[in-house]
Amino acid sequence: EVGPKETQKNKKSKAAKGTIELIKSHLEELVADVVESSSLVDSPVRLVAGDGGLDFNLERILKAQNPDYEGTKKVLEINTGHELIKKLPKKSVKVQKALSRVLFEQARILDGEMPSDAQKFSEDLITVSLSD
């Protein structure tokens, strides 16, 4: 028999999967994957190396030696319990795209990187700030 807690868990799981797919669809060219984090508590997102991916510090060294080195796409971990992540599906498609990119760039900044496209990051911040 499935109790009320199990039903709530399934609803949360479906909502989380939907949000993950939503973010993934907006960031498919920027990240290798989007997954639910089991360790994030306060932050909405973080970037981690994918399977077989290089450590961030090693990639920085390689970039310093070879400016043309692109690096590997990272995996974006999301905290599905964070209020910002929970509100994302309720936003317009334009705001969903902008917020998904802002979250990705925020994770890059927290890792000591610059935004991949500073102009787009600025536009996205304005879009998100002006949304309801």
Segments forming the whole domain that contains residue 37: 4-130
| CATH code: domain of residue 35 | 1.20.120.790
Residues 6+ apart with CB under 8 A from 90: none
Angle of helix 118-130 relative to helix 93-110, nearest 10 degrees? 130
Number of domains in the chain: 1
Q: Which is nearest to 81 in space by CA: 130, 31, 2, 8?
A: 8
Q: Mean pLDDT over residues 86-114, rounded?
A: 95
- Residues 10-17: contacts with CB under 8 Å, at least 24 apart: 12/80, 15/80, 15/86, 15/89, 16/80
pTM: 0.84
- Rounded percentage of the chain residues whose pLDDT exceeds 90: 63
Query: Does residue 87 carry a pLDDT above 60?
Result: yes
| Cβ count near 59 (within 10 Å) | 18
Write down the pLDDT at residue 1.
Answer: 44
**Band of pLDDT at residue 11, cut at 50, 70 and 90:** low
**Band of pLDDT at residue 14, cut at 50, 70 and 90:** confident
